[in-house]
Amino acid sequence: MIQARNRSSNMKFNCLSGLLVALLLLSTSGLKADSHLTVLKGARVVSPDGKGGVTVLKNGTVYLKGQKIQQVGDNLPVPKGAKVVDLKGKWILPGFIDAHYLSGSFTGETNEYSDAITQNFSPTVAFDPWGKGFAKLHQKGVTTIAVSPGNQNVVGGKVELIRVCPGKYPLERIAGPDLIKAAVGYEATVSGGLQRAPTSVSGAVKMLRTWIEKTFKPAGKGAKDLTQAKGKEETLITLPEPKTQEAAARLLIHIEARTQAARLLGSIEGRNVVPVLLHGSGITPEAWRLVEGYSHAVLGPLSFESSIKALSIPKELAAKKINFAFATDGDTEDLLTSAVLAMNNGLKFEEAVNSLTLNPAKIFGVDKNLGRIAKDYDADLVVWSNNPFSFKGKVESVWCLGKKVYDAPSTVKKAAKKEKK
């Protein structure tokens, strides 16, 4: 009797084991062998969720195929033939986007001084994709930069989104709406050391208002060629009429005071352009509460020498639901420093993550491809040794369009030692 019972128990156990194996095989049978697939496995994956929050996968798996992210999930199975990269204990975030990077940091060419209105000036013409600056950007977790003219022209020229892929020529420009840089601070006037009009900040504001009104027709009523504020017609770029606000041109406006923003608003409202306030170095948190009519802003760089009021501005913008991003201007301070200092002054973790990734992508109208770790997004990722927002994490590797383009020196040495063994 005892033997019979044991046989019965063993049969039940074997049947159950067989059933479990069958279920496991069934669950993975849909995964086709794919030698073109790269699987980043085991890391903590941190990404904006597209709704203002952040998704965290503790044992995340990211499938990369070609230039895109194919799938993301927690502890996903690995298809046969896929290249597996074990990242257990690491963190993966979308590559940071520097929302205002002065081209002079690479080339020395930041402004075209011949006129106050130089909207066709392109600072990337002299950009060197083999420059040492690319590696420095990777070390700070940056995979995209908005290369911009300086602040010494009322209309300085084009802003171009460049993917940080060292040695790639022509440069990897990211397609999106037209981006133009403007400035109405003292740097664009005679007081900023220039020998041409405008001679005052008020004059700069007036000149920019005239240019905006000539350049951007009211939304829905067609396009218009860009013309100089002086009235001289030029054969320049034409901005097509956007079908949606996401496709509308962006105008980055360097301002120093709230009054400048207020005086420009009447000329911008209702036109086929999205204004983005840049810097606002003289605007306090209290003054930001009075800034109406603007939904996008670029701040920074913040530093350890910044005042408490300056460090509190990101929290104020987040409370007002203003979509803001950080920039370095090509300065020595990195984006992460700005975000962490803002966190120490009230900015929430998820707001900090968004400010470096999805927020700037929204500002530039490319948030359908950049700024998140999600299916069909560009595979621009950064692997950190630990939580970067704790200042304990260091960049270990960078992936641009699905290919690894940077390995930290310490990581390379460790890999070489393993190969020798």
- Please say whether the beta carbons of 245 and 220 come within 8 A: no
User: Per-residue pLDDT for 407 more than 90?
Assistant: yes
Contacts 24+ apart (CB under 8 A), 386-395: 386/90, 386/91, 387/91, 388/91, 388/93, 388/141, 388/336, 389/336, 389/339, 389/340, 389/343, 389/349, 389/352, 389/353, 391/340, 393/91, 395/138, 395/139, 395/140, 395/141
Cross-strand partners of 86: 41
Q: What pTM did the predictor assign?
A: 0.84
CATH number of 96-363: 3.20.20.140
- Please say whether the beta carbons of 38 and 402 come within 8 A: yes
- Please say whether the beta carbons of 293 and 267 come within 8 A: no
Both tokens of 390, joined, read: 């704790």
Average pLDDT taken over every residue of the chain: 83
User: Per-residue pLDDT for 97 more than 60?
Assistant: yes
Tell me the CATH class for 32-94+380-420.
Answer: mainly beta
Compute CA 76 distance to the chain's CA centroid, rounded to the nearest angstrom: 27
Which of 177, 173, 171 has its CA nearest to residue 276? 177
Q: What pLDDT, on a 0 to 100 scale, did the predictor assign at position 413? A: 52
Both tokens of 219, joined, read: 């939304």
Q: What pLDDT, on a 0 to 100 scale, did the predictor assign at position 330? A: 81
Which of 285, 251, 290, 291 has its CA nearest to residue 271? 251
- pLDDT of 325-372, one tens digit each? 999 988 767 899 999 999 999 999 999 999 999 999 999 999 999 999
- Please say whether the beta carbons of 159 and 124 come within 8 A: no
Q: What pLDDT, on a 0 to 100 scale, did the predictor assign at position 420? A: 52
Of 407 and 17, the one with more pLDDT = 407
Name the band, by pLDDT with cuts 50, 70 and 90, for residue 389: very high
Domain spans of the chain?
1-30, 32-94+380-420, 96-363
Of 217 and 173, the one with more pLDDT = 173
Give the residue ranges of DSSP H helices in 29-65: none
Helix (H) or strand (E) holding 350: helix 349-356
Q: Which DSSP string do the residues of 101-117 spell out, in sequence order?
A: EEGGGTSS----TT-SB
Q: Length of the chain in residues, anyone?
A: 421
- pLDDT of 124-152, one tens digit each? 876 766 766 677 889 999 999 999 998 98
